[in-house]
Amino acid sequence: MSRRSPVPTSLDEEAFAERSRLVEMIEKLSESEWDHHSLCAGWRVREVVAHMSMPFRTSALSMVAGIVRARFSFDEYADSAARRDAATYDSAQLLDFLKKNITTVWHPPGGGDDGALSHDVIHGLDITEPLGLPAPSAERIGLVLRHGGPRALKHFGSSLDRTLVATDTDASIGTGRRLEIPAKDILLVITGRRTLGQVVLDD
């Protein structure tokens, strides 16, 4: 399920800070906001929180068994697990799973040393964007883009015919004609949360 390490890296410390930031906002949400749609298709805020806390609650054996049941599709497994856990646990319990693991070190298999930070930042945006809540700092998003941007393009099946250059931090990704947009918008585009047309029109 995850590769745990007792020694936090600087990227782990950024993940801890992002989790703490998200917990502070999530604990103020109303029940209707917990049921608000997220940027993850078909998931409400509560499914996203369930998914974010899954690494802290699921053993490697349980995860492997779940993936087998999902015909070896991690995405199908993650979706069914998030829906099941969102129905099993109430909002207070889901929040508590995150709160108790703010400083837990974990690295998703194949996710690189920045995997936990990327996971928390991307899924955090899934929650904060629809609710109009503050995003991470541009520099924290820049860390995600600099360390895992090309991997995210492959993972999310995104393709770019231009170079996206952040206007608010040192980060860029892609090839071709240069387009300058905020780092947050770059991350939303390469993870399939927004189209390039949507973020350009929003600007």
Position 155 scores a pLDDT of: 63
Q: How many domains does the chain have?
A: 2
Question: Are residues 142 and 125 part of one domain?
Answer: no
Residue 4 falls within a domain, yes or no?
no
Encode pLDDT of 40-67 as tens digits.
999 999 999 999 999 898 877 777 777 7
Question: Are residues 77 and 164 part of one domain?
Answer: no
What percent of the chain clears pLDDT 90, i.e. is strictly above it?
Answer: 65
Question: Are residues 81 and 172 part of one domain?
Answer: no
146's torsion region: left (phi>0), alpha (psi -120 to 50) or beta? alpha
Encode pLDDT of 87-130 as tens digits.
999 999 999 999 999 999 988 877 778 889 999 999 999 999 99
Given 100, 131, 162, the domain boundary residue is: 131
Higher-pLDDT residue of 5, 155: 155
Question: Are residues 110 and 157 part of one domain?
Answer: no
Place of tokens 């991307």: 122
**How many alpha carbons lie under 13 Å from residue 193 in its C-beta half-sphere?**
23
Rounded to 5 degrees, φ, ψ at 110 are 75, 0
Query: Are 69 and 77 within 8 A, CB to CB?
Result: yes
Best CA proximity match to 119, nearest among 8, 22, 9: 22
Question: Are residues 142 and 90 part of one domain?
Answer: no
Given 95, 114, 131, the domain boundary residue is: 131
Which residues form the domain of 177?
138-202
